[in-house]
Chains A and B, each alone.
Chain A
Amino acid sequence: MKTSESPPFRITPSTCREKLTRVLVALVFCLCLGCHRDDVAPDGRIHLTYWEKWTGFEFEAMKKVVEMFNASQDRIYVDLLSISQNERKVIVAIAGGNPPDVAGITSEFVPVLVQMNALYPLDGYLERAGIDGSQDFIDSYWRVCNYEGCTWALPTTGAALAYHYNKKAFRKKGLDPENPPRSLEELEALDPLLNDYTNDRILHATFLPSEPDWWPFVWPMFFGGKLWDGKRTITLTSPEVVEAYEWVASYSDRLGVERAQAFRGGFGDLFASPQNLFLSGKLYSELQGLWMDTFVQKYSPDLEYGVAPMPTKTEDLYGVSLVECDIIFIPRGSRHPNEAFEFMKFVTGQTGAETFTTGMRSINPRKVRSEGYIENHPHPHIEFFDSLAMSDKAQASPRISMWYEMLDEMKAVFDKVWLHKGEPYDILKAAEVRMQERLDQDMDRWESVRDVRKESWEEFIEKTRKGEDPL
């Protein structure tokens, strides 16, 4: 039914258009404002965005270094952001055209990021700044920053894995706490002395290869084995690797799969907790990183523990350790790579590195340290961990472009071996076939683009060597 009256809310076309135009203008303005990144600080300094993966006290340690840098500068200002799973988010940010200017991740991701063309090479900057990384940094940490003939990152802090053992428990059972086992044979010989279990549950255990389960790929290292030849061949069925996983299987065999699983499962896979198996004194020894001391101090300050290299198959391997480091790099698409390198230089320089690693209670990746640095370091075993990292026997994770896939595959291998889901050789063979296929695909693809990539890297290096704007 028509009425002569206009609806009360009716608006005239002209008013409507005006209002809509205003709304649209406001919307566009808001969108522009949201997309805008303020690169210049109120004091006229260039703003750098720095994504670091740490939270907690580690983040505070880096924050202190950033504050020192900002205080030392009148040209550059660094905004530090804590971003978890940095390596993935940086890639997405690069793809989206808005990456941070500088970012920090762990070193095992360098190959994948390089092959994805996600980083800027640093060679030109280093040459211009007169920095010789091979002289300045510990070899094992410096090596992981290099890939395909270029330097992609600088190490900020280092770590190493070692055999942690409960001295008090050793002493109580009549063992010399200052002489931990050196060989795997000696380690296994401790089982009858220290293990304590009933028919259906383990009360105390000497050692568990499954605790923690963070490095399922690490065991071949202590048998002299490698997961791949560093080129085009996966070597999971090499005798040393097979022997390593047979050794893993022997543990769950001796302890009983169900009992061993229940022993771990009872604590809900806890790490940073007083209920952690090692911290609570139920597991007498384990392979852990130097950060364990922080958690000992926090959750079990009365635990009297010692550290030593992980026992090995043969004496000549003794001292082998998995070393890891954090790195800092310039993502492709960074808007201020020159300034980003200035900041990286500071963070990895003498003052920056020592401040950060003291706060982190970790290894300083620089070879030369200031007087009193080691003596005043808060980690009680820093000299020992330092020696592991500096040793010729220090080994990094496999530097393979498909690291995540390899890691997942080795986790599945470890689980199957541990749970006796087949013979170790058969399990490793299946994984080797699968990983070899993937490596072949990756290498073929990489070889098809490598030359083009190298040309663009050379161009960037040349410009930065001359001090020109590389972008």
Chain B
Amino acid sequence: MTKGDRHNLFLGLLFVSPWLIGFVVFMAYPIFASLYYSLCHYSVLADPVFIGTKNYTNLFQDSVFRKALTNTLIYAAMALPLNMLVALGLAVLLHHPIPGRGLFRTMFFLPSLVPLVAIAILWSWLLNTEYGLVNHLLSLVNVPPIDWLGSTQWSKVSMVLPTTWGVGGMIVIYLASLQEVPQHLYEAARLDGARFWRQFWHVTLPLISPVVYFNLIMTIITLLQVFIIPYIMTKGGPARSTLFYVQYIYDTAFRFLRMGYASAMAWILFLVIMLLTLIATWATAKRIYYSAD
């Protein structure tokens, strides 16, 4: 390495140093520190005391931990297919050349710009038992009022609806990929007599499959980390029916001040997300077509 190269390297490192320092201080160090704390009793003000894997063994005996994990998985199982289908369906519709398409695209994208706190408050009112718009619309078809947020049967469904309302980001990604599908493939399919569904199934879906896969993984990660909406709408109630995993981590860390226990929970969540991502990758591997393949 010449003197000039060393100089350039120094300058390069210097200019990326804000990011490097930020990464080390705010990402790498906390990640490794949380791994260590997960093996400790740590209450913030006293030094951490190493207790081995006790936090992990205690977690599996903790009924609230199991409840939070189960709630989160049920919620994700409801929201994942719904969000994926709604986003893809809307993207396909918005891809068609209809009058006012730009306006519709904007309308469907707008909710994803609304802050989550505002979405949560808005939906609290939409789902209000007596005065909410949702129950009013249901009453038009003679459906009796539903206690969306106050009953354990409906509370998780109430958490799914606001997330589905905010799928605008996913729609945009789908739209971008739909525009990349070569038109001559549709023409060929039409010549072969394929109608809308066959075109969608045999042309569109295979060609946008990498984007579907991307959205699938990102949605799994996002749903398993749901926090703001249930925290504001129900605070985990009623009877812990909307106590989701990340809220339990938050409560344990910042209200109960059991940082070690919360760190162990965070690592288990990391492993759950990794496992589900691997399963999703494995399950979809043979159905994803990259243009370079």
Chain A residues at the B interface, C-beta cutoff of 8 Å? 13, 16, 20, 88, 91-92, 94-95, 112, 116-118, 200-201, 258, 261-262, 264-268, 332, 402, 404-405, 408, 411-412, 415-416, 419, 421, 430, 434, 445, 449
Contacts and interface: CB of A to CB of B under 8 A. Distances in A.
Contacts of B11: 16
A92 B253 CA distance: 11
Contacts of B2: none
Nearest to A16: B11
Given A95-B45, A258-B147, A404-B255, A412 B124 contact: no
Contacts of B147: 258, 261-262, 265
Contacts of B46: 116-117, 449
Contacts of A268: 124-125, 128, 131
A91 B64 contact: no
B60 to A, nearest CB: 13
Contact of B150 (A94, A118, A200, A264): A264
B239 A421 contact: yes
B251 A408 contact: yes
A391 B292 CA distance: 82
A262 B125 contact: no
B145 interface: yes
B239 A116 contact: no
Contacts of B124: 268
A94 B130 CA distance: 46
Interface string B239-256: 110000000000100111
Given A265-B129, A416-B239, A419-B239, 18 more contacts: A88-B255, A91-B257, A92-B44, A116-B43, A116-B46, A117-B46, A201-B130, A258-B147, A262-B145, A262-B150, A265-B150, A266-B130, A412-B237, A415-B237, A419-B152, A421-B152, A434-B64, A445-B41
B212 to A, nearest CB: 38
Nearest to A116: B45
Contacts of A416: 239
A385 B89 CA distance: 61
A408 B254 CA distance: 14
B144 A200 contact: yes
Contacts, number: 79
Contacts of A116: 43-46, 257
B185 interface: no
Interface string B200-211: 000000000000
Contacts of A421: 152, 239
Contact of B128 (A92, A94, A118, A266): A266
Contacts of B125: 268
Contacts of A200: 144-145
A117 B62 CA distance: 27
Contacts of A332: 45
A268 B62 CA distance: 32
B161 interface: no
B284 interface: no
Contact of A262 (B63, B129, B251): B129
Contact of A261 (B41, B45, B129, B251): B129
